[in-house]
Structure 1
Amino acid sequence: MKIRRYFFTVVSILLLTNLQLFAQDGIMVGPSRIYYKVDAGGMGTQKVTVTNPSDKAMDVGIAINDWAYNALGDNLSFNPGTQPTTCADWIQISPGAFFTLQAKEKKVVNIMLNVPQNANKDIPVHTAMLYFTQLTPVDSKSPNGAMMKVSMRIGIKLYHSFSQQEERDIDITDFKDVADSTKSNAGRLELAFQNKSKVWVEGKVNWELLNTQTGEKQKLDDLNFYSLPGDNRILKQPLPVKLAKGKYTATAIVTYGNKDELKIAELEFER
């Protein structure tokens, strides 16, 4: 007799990352972020497409939470209406926060943002998180072949700013090397910055190492980041495992904004 073991798994995915494993089993939602630029007293509407790729009908529910980044760029979730930047109470969902998708069906959900006339303009960016939860589990398999019941939850980030605010500025506050006390690798570089903008910032850091004794240059992997006004962020870049001993100059080039604004930091260190 063949015995099948089933596991019930809730797969929570923020910003549609790591979706490939369950893409044929659970709901698909896009885009991963929606943006509003609306003055006080105004209204804006954005569309989110929800798809059921499976061969069975499934129920979908939508919930609204607050969120923020921590210093490392991880997402933190909070109860709606509890954060200073919240706009959870401004959101309306049409046709509703609960619906059924038939097999292979695709539905467009309207996300309406009604900005109060007395909205606090001292807070340049308001945010919320929309969680789309698949309420009907579907059969799936784990990478090792075990049968599972999968129910997915996908988070969509919502950003609001007032239409006149476009100022972007990044202030680099620290750049240092951190040695590894275990000696298992060469340690890492840490770049700290503050987002002094009046809007969200999407940026990238290019890293380069120069061995000042040999003249050899090494380009390290780029790091992308997202941040909100007032965020203090620390970006960690591992150094090459087989980094030769010597004296180095590390250069970090931070690019951000629509006009390729950039900041450059240099650091001298020894390994």
Structure 2
Amino acid sequence: MQKSTQNKNCIIIATPAKIIRTQNSIMKAILCSFALIAGLLICPSITNAQRVNINPTLLSFNAAAGERSSQTITIVNISNERQVFQLSLGDWLRDSLGNHQYLKAGTLSRSCADWIKLDNSFIEIEPRASKEVRVTLNAPADTLMLKEMKWAMLFVQNVKEQENSKKKKGKVNAVINEIFRFGIHLYQIPPGVHNYEAKAIDLRPDQSIKGSYNFFVRNTGNIMLQCQARLELTNMETGEEIKLERIEFPIFPDANRTIPLAIPANLKKGRYSALAMLEYHDDMPLEAIEMTIEIK
């Protein structure tokens, strides 16, 4: 059965997609910095957000059963005022669209938040100074708990001290405090956890966005993947190939992602083979789904 969507100047008719799996021999190592500071900024000023520098923004542990592993983060106060910071742990995940969701520590089955200990959860830093915080992961002795990747988030939030302000009788003083919260990704990947595997599930027209197709993929392995998705169009009459830009994204184990792939608005009329491809590791097969679309 064919599906069609109405574009502004054309009608797109799509036949059902078919899944293709081939060996990928061209993919280069993908080095994605998805661990950039994930900020919940309760203040629109970017300048104010730069009053603190935190490094690194990702801690990756590889502890075996019963092992203890420690790393440090450095918090730099680059402002001209003394700052106070509170550190806490939480869970997080990405939904199918890649949005972050934050949860209480220990909520997720893949959380390692309960294994993490901080040598200090409340620190004061003088202007233009820095302090280090040791982050220790204590892996449980039960090997069954180390069969998969786990993760958590370390939050660093500034704490505004209340200042005594002079008040006149009958007057109310309003004080606006700027609160900044930064997230550091914590990953625990036990030795032997390296099952890189993903599947292309489906390719369907987006019913709400004209000229866009949703590429559904799933991480079926036991470790986070750094993926690339792309769409190639081939005119079935002329053989002309159109290769669209790659979209890079991470995906947690057992998670699904929906990747929007848009066809060019100025695509010439005709029948096209649309090939959506998923690349996720140099040594693993490329996943692909092909379907036919017609531009009228």
Q: What is the TM-score of this pair, normalised by structure 1?
A: 0.79
Equivalent in the alignment of 1:78: 103
Q: Secondary structure at the match of 1:121?
A: helix
Equivalent in the alignment of 2:4: none
Measure, in 2, the Cα distance between the counterparts of 1:262 and 1:245. 29
What runs of 5+ residues in structure 1 fail to find an aligned partner? Answer: 1-13, 138-147
1:132 and 2:156 are equivalent in the alignment: yes
Measure, in 1, the Cα distance between the counterparts of 2:291 and 2:220. 23
Which protein has the bigger strand share?
Answer: 1
1:27 and 2:47 are equivalent in the alignment: no
Equivalent in the alignment of 1:153: 181
Q: What are the equivalent positions in structure 2 for 1:198-237 lying under 5 Å apart?
A: 198-237=222-261
User: 2:146, 2:190 within 8 Å by CA — same for their partners in 1?
Assistant: no
Aligned counterpart for 2:91 among listed residues 52, 55, 66: 66
Equivalent position amino acid for 1:125 in 2: M
Task: Write out the 4+ residue segments of structure 1 that deviate beyond 4 Å after TM superposition.
Answer: 17-20
Equivalent in the alignment of 2:288: 264
The 1:52–1:210 alpha-carbon spacing in structure 2 relative to 1, beyond 3 Å, is farther
What runs of 5+ residues in structure 2 fail to find an aligned partner? Answer: 1-34, 162-175
Q: Deviations over 1:149-179 (max 9, x none)?
A: 6432111111112211111000111122225
Deviates more, 1:33-42 or 1:170-179: 170-179
Equivalent in the alignment of 2:37: 16
Measure, in 2, the Cα distance between the counterparts of 1:121 and 1:221. 40
Aligned counterpart for 1:87 among listed residues 112, 115, 118: 112
User: 2:38, 2:184 within 8 Å by CA — same for their partners in 1?
Assistant: no
Measure, in 2, the Cα distance between the counterparts of 1:47 and 1:172. 38
The 1:22–1:163 alpha-carbon spacing in structure 2 relative to 1, beyond 3 Å, is farther
Q: What are the equivalent positions in structure 2 for 1:241-252 lying under 5 Å apart?
A: 241-252=265-276
Equivalent in the alignment of 2:262: 238
Deviates more, 1:242-251 or 1:29-38: 242-251
Deviation at 1:93, TM superposition (A): 1.2
User: 1:177, 1:269 within 8 Å by CA — same for their partners in 2?
Assistant: no
User: 1:29, 1:51 within 8 Å by CA — same for their partners in 2?
Assistant: yes
**Structure whose alpha-carbon radius of gyration is higher:** 2
The 1:172–1:24 alpha-carbon spacing in structure 2 relative to 1, beyond 3 Å, is closer
User: What is the alpha-carbon root mean square deviation over aligned residues?
Assistant: 2.7
Tell which has more relative contact order, 1 or 2 (C-alpha 8 A, sep 6+). 2
Q: What is the TM-score of this pair, normalised by structure 2?
A: 0.73
Measure, in 1, the Cα distance between the counterparts of 2:131 and 2:118. 13
Deviation at 1:118, TM superposition (A): 2.3
Q: Secondary structure at the match of 1:162?
A: coil
Measure, in 1, the Cα distance between the counterparts of 2:62 and 2:190. 5
- Give the fraction of aligned pairs with identical amino acids, expressed as a percent: 25
Measure, in 1, the Cα distance between the counterparts of 2:246 and 2:282. 18
